[in-house]
Every structure is written in C-alpha cells, then in structure tokens.
Amino acid sequence: MTRFASTFAKSQTALVAFITAGDGDTAANLDALVAGGADVIELGMPFTDPMADGPAIQAANLRSLAKGTTTADIFAMATAFRQRHPDVPLVLMGYANPMTIRGADWFAAKCAKAGVDGVICVDIPSEEDAELGPSLRAAGVDLIRLATPTTDPARLPAVLTGAGGFLYYVSVAGITGLQQAAQASIEEAVTRLKAATDLPVAVGFGVRTPEQAAQIARVADGVVVGSAFIDIIAEHGDAAAPHVEAFTRTLADAIHGAKEIAA
Amino acid sequence: MTNLTNSLRTQPDERGHFGPFGGRYVAETLMPLILDLEREYRAAQADPAFKAEFDDLLKNYVGRPSPLWFARRLTEHLGGAKIYLKREDLNHTGAHKINNCIGQILLARRMGKQKIIAETGAGQHGVATATVAALFGLPCTIFMGAVDVARQQPNVFRMKLLGAEVVAVESGAKTLKDAMNEALRHWVANVHDTFYIIGTVAGPHPYPELVRDFQSVIGDEAKAQILEAEGRLPDMLIAPVGGGSNAIGLFHPFLDDAEVEIVGVEAAGEGLDKKHAASLAGGRPGILHGNKTYLLQDEDGQITEAHSISAGLDYPGIGPEHSWLHDIGRVRYEPVTDDEALASFQKLTKLEGIIPALESAHAIAAAERIAPTLGKDRIIIVNCSGRGDKDIFTVADALGVRL
C-alpha cells in the first residue's frame, strides 16, 4: 500500500500542510507539522515567478530564493525528511520550469530517490502532460492533478487521466491564500468529483482557520492549508517551529474530529 | 509557389506548438477559458463580418496602411543596400501595438466579456489597450511594474486620461514580467467576465497565433508596397524582437519566400557578457507565462532579470514562434547593444527626420551594420515599429542632457 493509500484509508479526514522549502528553518518546521498532526506534507519549490500564488506565498518564494535555496537543497530536505518520517506522504509542489529544466526524467528520478510520493505542478495542465507526467509515472511518483471551479464535466475525464495520489480541488477561481469559497459550492464540487474518481479529494485555497477546515473536512478526504502556515513563518522566522506545531494541532484536531461530529 | 506541406506558415499545430515551443502551460483554472478563446477565434476567422470590422477599424481609426518609406539619406549615408522603413510609428498611438489591440477587443466583445486587462512594460501596450477600451466603452485595468510606473510617468498619465486604472505591481523585480504575473493572477480570479489582451506573441496558445495574425497586416502591406515600388520582393527584412510581435507581423507573410533573408534583432543591453535581454543568444528553452520558449534563467530554472535601455525589449523571454524560427534557421537573430541603439536613434532622427522608438532603433542599428556589406541593387525593409517621443527622457538621460 502506498503512503497516500494508507493515509487516506483512515476514517478521519487528512490535514495536508504546505510550506515553502527554504523559508525559515524548513527541517524544524516539517517536524513541527508532523508532530502537530499533519497527515500529508506539501513542500513548495520556490520559483521567481509564482503566477498562481497570492502575496503570502509569493513573499515566501522570494525569501527562500534570496537565501540561495537551490533545487539540490530541496531534494536534500526531502531526503532527510523521508529518513526522519518514513510513513508521512511527501509532495513537492511548484512550477514547471524548475521541475523540467534538467529534463523530466532527471526530476522524476530525483523525486523517487528522495522518497517523494507525489508532485503537483501548477502550470502543467493535462493538455501538456507529456512534459512531466510519463516520467513521473514511470518512476513510481504520483502526478497530483488540480481541479477547479472552472473544470467543467466535459474536461474532468481529461484531468483525471494519468492523475494519482489524490485530487486537489482548488475551491476558488483565484490565487492562494485570499478569498474563501462558500461551503455549499465546496460540497457540491466534492460530491461531483467523488462521483467521477476513486482518488481521495483534498480541498484547498483560502482555508485559514480551524473552523473553516472543520466544515470542509466533513465532506472532503483532505483539507489543504498553506498561506496560514506561511504567515506564521514570516512572523517568527527561524524560530517558527513551536508556533507551527501549535497551529497544526488546532487544525488537526478540528479536521480529524469533523466526521465524527457530523455523524 | 507555396507548397502547403512544406510551408513555414502553417504553425502552430492544433495543440499550439511551434515545433517544440509554445503550448498551453497554464493553471487548470485558466485552461477552460483559453480553450473557449480558441474556439471563438476559429469562429471569428471564419466570419467575414469580423474581418470586415477589423479592416475598417485599421483603416479609419488606426490610419492604415502605414507607408513604406524609402530612406534615401540613410541609404546614401551607408552606401550599400536600399533601405525602406515600414512606418508603424505613424499608426494611431504611435506603434504597431494598436493592430493587435483592435483584433483582441473585437474578440472580447464576441465573447461577451465586459472588462479588459493588460500588462505593460514601457506603457505602449497599456496605452494601446486603454485606447481601444475607451473606443468601445469597456472598463480597463493595466498592470505595470512599480519601477516602470516611476520611469514612464507620461504613459501612466495617458492611460489614466483614457479612463484606465493603472495598478503598480510591487511584486518581484517590479517590471514587465512581474506585471504579466499579476495580470495572470487577476485573470485567474476574474475569468468569468474579464478578457486579457496580451501585448505580444507570447503566453499560452492561442495568443501567440492570434497576435501574430493581427500583426501580419504589417508584412502583408509591406509585400504589396515593395512590389509596387520596386517590382520585386526585398532581399532582407530586419525587425526588433522583444516578445516579437512587430517582427513576426512583418516576417510571417514572407516566411515561404526563400529568397528573402530575415533578421531579428535582440537587445544586447550592456553586452552579452553583462546585463542584457537577448533570450536566444543568452538563454535556454524553458517554461514561463504559459509557453515554452527561450528564457533567461539560471541552472535551476529560476528566471533572471533582463536589461535593455528599451523598456519594450526588457523581457527575459521571446515569443515561441521566434524560438522555432531560430532553431530551424529560417530567421537569423543578431544582438544590438544599448549604445548602438542610442547612436542609431540619433542618426535616423538627423538623417530622415524620423524619431524612432528605442526598440526600432535596435533594428536600424542592425541595418547600419549590414547595408554597407550589400550591393546598391539590394533592398532591405526595416520595421520602424514605433515612434520615439516616449523615449526622449530616457535618451536625454543616457546622453547626460537635463530636460
């Protein structure tokens, strides 16, 4: 059973936590996420031009790059994480150019070697799958696809073809960390997506509080939180880990208990 | 003459690829919209009423056809090939940019979009977009890097006079590429009612194709004009290339005329070993802003800052069709530095009474280099893509003159 499968096989909803690699003390923050109860880790690969990200994650990308974070550094962080946490699924999330610049096969092999379970590439839609998807799948790394409010039923099968790990539902047509989607629209979308795929469905974009997360957790298999963690790291810098862990715990408690309350 | 199977004018393929370049590298949120745009563009291409309205606006609003001017004094000064200037600087708003904006706003209206957005570097595309938005009474938001806002105040004021909102982009390096990032972010959040008028032959398919098609009026006219003036095709075309919309507009109708040599001019800034904006000479293929093309970047694929004295060429990428034409060798791309462009800016002004845009001055500089090596019976067409009034402050500053 893959790490994704065993994580999402649990009866409780998963907390999927995002931080940007190289922003603050990444190793300490990753450990804090796991200690606080995060179930899946998304490690952001910084890029100079993060077109789908809001102000918080844009700033995190720039802070990381200003410190000189390289792709080699990110794989070193991933490798070390896998040694410390053998069972926690790890996803690399980022943009196409840093992932493909040395060739998709190179990137896929590095992911596999580092123990990365899945990859989310913001700007490779299913139409351009050949750029990265075949290499990842051949290396046994899941390509996690995004579905959005604009993904209509006619497109959905194409989005799902070749998708693995889980399906990431971007709940707002917009950028990360800003507006929040209406709960009713999320429920409708998750129901529709789950009817079309056996993949677990995680919901993200604009989720910042335990209350929001708990609401979404009643219907989704996973809840993704990113910008709220980035804000904590921006505020506390290299000493953010205890704050990250405390916030993770409040989110995890809210998310993990959501389905029991609903039932 | 033109064998379709061997034609260089049939790109891109149905997936928007020019050889290995181009494509649709966008977030899933935008994918349905650019598929819609492509469908609507195909419908517009098949609709004679669309072409009729486009042609009418180009003629009566933009002032086309733009003249093809024989630059007699420049030709005599250089002592070689005859140089003709395609006078895009005489268009309404002072550059070729308006051709594309007219076409795209007609598409926006067909699609029922009520709001217009655009990115701009120096402000020329922003002014052209604000102009057509005013003409059709649509609200318009222009994204412009904060650094560019500070150094291009006259154009910022023009856009505001035209009724546009100008958003100063504070992210990244606060120049053109960051303005494009921010326009894409705004678009993702407003896809239901907003049309993004991209200013050059870059971005996701179908933008590079449709911008090229709207700009091809430049080459179509030039071909007819040179046949009338000289009774034959030119020996060479020269145009400046940033994103490359004026260049592809001139080049495309001539791509299958093998006897016509084609030269694109990249901005070499302070020199190719220093800060520059020459994506082909100094970059590698990569993915940015929705397409695969040559980019200035480091070994990890992080985009590096471009530099050119010409704000319109100050971009770390280039349109994907240019990348393809470069790789197959149909077009030769040459670098021209800031200093060379500055010298040609002044030379053309003094010899022909035409103040060219700094972008166009790059092409003039290449013509100065090449024309003396060719016989007097040879013919070169240079694209004078815009007028230089917008650049007088930059030029004065570079020459140490206080205005």
Does the distance separating the beta carbons of B31 and A127 come in below 8 Å? yes
B110: left (phi over 0), alpha (psi -120 to 50) or beta: alpha
Question: B188 vs A146: CB contact, 8 Å cut-off?
Answer: no
Position A263 scores a pLDDT of 57
On average, the pLDDT of chain A sits at 95
Q: Which two tokens stand for residue A72?
A: 């080699």
Q: How many CB pairs lie under 8 A apart between chains A and B? A: 117
Residue-level pLDDT, tens digit, chain B, 403 residues: 444 568 999 999 999 999 999 999 999 999 999 999 999 999 999 999 999 999 999 999 999 999 999 999 999 999 999 999 999 999 999 999 999 999 999 999 999 999 999 999 889 999 999 999 999 999 999 999 998 898 788 899 999 999 999 999 998 888 889 999 999 999 988 989 999 999 999 999 999 999 999 999 999 999 999 999 999 999 999 999 999 999 999 999 999 999 999 999 999 999 999 999 999 999 999 999 999 999 999 999 999 999 999 988 989 999 999 999 999 999 999 999 999 999 999 999 999 999 999 999 999 999 999 999 999 999 999 999 999 998 999 999 999 999 8
Say if the Cβ atoms of A51 and B289 lie within 8 Å: yes
pLDDT tier for residue A173 given thresholds of 50, 70 and 90: confident
pLDDT of residue B257: 98
Could you tell me whether strands B140-145 and B165-169 are parallel, antiparallel, or unpaired per DSSP bridges?
parallel
- Residue B251 is predicted with a pLDDT of 98
DSSP one-letter string for B324-352: HHHHTTSSEEEEEEHHHHHHHHHHHHHHH
Residue B1 is predicted with a pLDDT of 44
Active-site pick, A23, A25, A39, A42:
A42
Count the helix, strand and coil residues of chain A and give each as a percent rounded to the nearest 5. Answer: 50, 15, 35
Closest residue to B25, CB basis, from A128, A151, A178: A128
**pLDDT surpassing 70 at residue A262:** no
Taking only residues 260 to 299 of chain B, the set having a beta carbon closer than 8 angstroms to any beta carbon of chain A reads 284, 286-290, 295, 297, 299
Distance CA B184, CA B196 (A): 8
B181 vs A: CB within 8 A: yes
Annotated active-site residue A131? The verdict is no
Active site residue B97: yes
Q: How far apart are CA B293 and CA B307, in angstroms?
A: 18
Beta-strand relationship, B21-25 and B17-18: antiparallel
| Of the candidates A44, A39, A48, the residue with the CA atom closest to the CA atom of residue A121 | A44
Q: How does DSSP classify residue B302?
A: P
- pLDDT, mean of residues A80-84: 98
Output the pLDDT for position B311: 85
Environment class of B256 (CB within 10 Å of its CB; exposed 0-12, middle 13-18, buried 19+): middle
Question: Is the distance from CB of B231 to CB of B257 less than 8 angstroms?
Answer: no
Residue B15: phi and psi, rounded to 5, are -100, 10
Give the gap in angstroms from C-alpha A179 to the nearest C-alpha of chain B. 10
β-bridge mates for residue A44, sequence order:
A20, A93
CB contact under 8 A, A127 and B24: yes
| Residue numbers in B near A71 (CB within 8 A) | 300-301
- ipTM of this complex: 0.95
Phi, then psi, of B368 in degrees rounded to 5: -60, -35
Active-site annotation holds for B261: no
- Kindly list the strands in the beta sheet with A167-170, ordered across the sheet, starting from the edge strand earlier in the chain: A142-143, A118-121, A90-94, A40-44, A14-20, A222-225, A201-204, A167-170, A146-147
Least CB–CB distance from A52: residue in B188, B288, B303? B188
